Amino acid sequence: MQNPLLERWTTPFGIPPFDLIRTEHFSPAYDIALAEHEAEIEAIKTNPAPPTFANVIEAMEQAGRLLTKVGGVFWNLAGTQSDEALRAVEREMSPRLARHRSKIFLDPVLFARVEKACQQTGLSDEQKRLAERVYKGFVRSGAKLAPQDRARLAAITEELATLGTTFAQNVLKDEAGYVLVLEREEDLAGLAPDFRAAAAALAVERGHQGKWAVSLARGHVEAFLTHSTRRDLRETLFKHWIARGETGGESDNRSVIARTLALRAERATLLGYETYAAFKLDDTMAQTPQAVRDLLDRVWSAGRKRAAQEVASLQRMIDAEGGNFELAPHDWRHYADKLRRAEYALDDAELRAYFPLERMIEAAFHVAGELFGLTFHEQKGLPLYNPDLRIFEARNQKGEHVALFIGDYFARASKRSGAWMSAFRSQHNLGERQRPIIVNVLNIAKPPEGEPALLTIDEARTLFHEFGHALHGMLSNVTYPSLAGTAVSSDFVELPSQLYEHWLLRPEVLMRFARHVHTNEPMPDALLKKLMAARTFNQGFATVEYCGSAFVDLEMHLVDPQETSDPLAFEARVLQAIGMPREIVMRHRSPHFTHVFSGEGYASGYYSYLWSEVLDADAFSAFEETGDVFHKETAQRLHDYIYAAGNLRDPRSAYLAFRGRLPDADALIAKRGLA
Per run of 10 residues, the mean pLDDT along the chain (length 675 residues) is 93 97 97 98 98 98 98 97 95 97 97 98 98 98 97 97 97 94 96 93 94 93 96 98 94 98 98 98 95 96 96 97 96 96 88 96 98 98 97 98 98 91 98 95 93 94 98 98 96 96 95 95 92 93 97 98 97 98 97 96 95 94 96 98 97 96 86 86
Dihedral angle sign, alpha carbons of residues 548, 551, 554, 560:
negative
Q: What is the CATH number of domain 357-533?
A: 1.10.1370.40
DSSP 640: I
DSSP 515: B
- DSSP annotation string for 267-335: HHHHTT-SSHHHHHHTTSSS-SHHHHHHHHHHHHHHHHHHHHHHHHHHHHHHHHTT--S---GGGHHHH
Q: What is the 3-state secondary structure (H, E, C) of 427-467?
A: CECCCCCECCEEEEEEEECCCCCCCCCECCHHHHHHHHHHH
> Which residues are known catalytic residues?
466
Distance CA 560, CA 570 (A): 11
The pLDDT, as a whole number, for residue 186 is 96
Contact residues for 559 (Cβ-Cβ < 8 A; gap 6+) = 275, 570
Distance CA 448, CA 194 (A): 8
The pLDDT, as a whole number, for residue 368 is 98
Q: Say whether domain 4-105+107-144 belongs to CATH 1.20.1050.40.
A: yes
Closest CA to 586 of 296, 319, 195: 296
Predicted TM-score (pTM) of the model is: 0.93
The pLDDT, as a whole number, for residue 513 is 97
The pLDDT, as a whole number, for residue 664 is 82
The pLDDT, as a whole number, for residue 563 is 97
Domain 289-329+340-345+537-671, CATH among 1.10.1370.10, 1.10.3720.10, 3.40.366.10, 3.20.20.140: 1.10.1370.10
DSSP 12: G
The pLDDT, as a whole number, for residue 637 is 98
Q: Which H helix or E strand runs over 91?
A: helix 84-105
Tens of pLDDT, residue by residue over 316-346, are: 999 999 999 999 999 999 999 999 999 999 8
Tens of pLDDT, residue by residue over 448-500, are: 899 999 999 999 999 999 999 999 999 999 999 999 999 999 999 999 999 99
The pLDDT, as a whole number, for residue 198 is 92
Closest CA to 297 of 605, 609, 578: 578
Closest CA to 160 of 248, 252, 241, 262: 262
Angle between helices 457-474 and 357-372 (to 10 degrees): 40
The pLDDT, as a whole number, for residue 346 is 86
Residues of the chain with CATH 1.20.1050.40: 4-105+107-144
Angle between helices 84-105 and 147-176 (to 10 degrees): 160
Distance CA 618, CA 419 (A): 25
Distance CA 187, CA 196 (A): 10
The pLDDT, as a whole number, for residue 349 is 84
The phi, psi pair for 632, rounded to 5°, reads -65, -45
The pLDDT, as a whole number, for residue 665 is 83
The pLDDT, as a whole number, for residue 347 is 85
The pLDDT, as a whole number, for residue 432 is 85
The neighbouring-strand residues paired with 407 are: 390, 440
Q: Tell me the helix, strand and coil percentages in the chain, rounded to 5.
A: 60, 5, 35
Distance CA 443, CA 218 (A): 7
Dihedral angle sign, alpha carbons of residues 605, 610, 613, 615:
negative
Q: Render the burial of 273-305: b for 16+ CB within 10 Å, e for the rest.
A: bebbbbbbbbebbbeebebbbebbebbbebbbe
Q: List, in sequence order, the alpha helices (H) in 345-456.
A: 348-352, 357-372
Strands 401-410 and 390-395: antiparallel
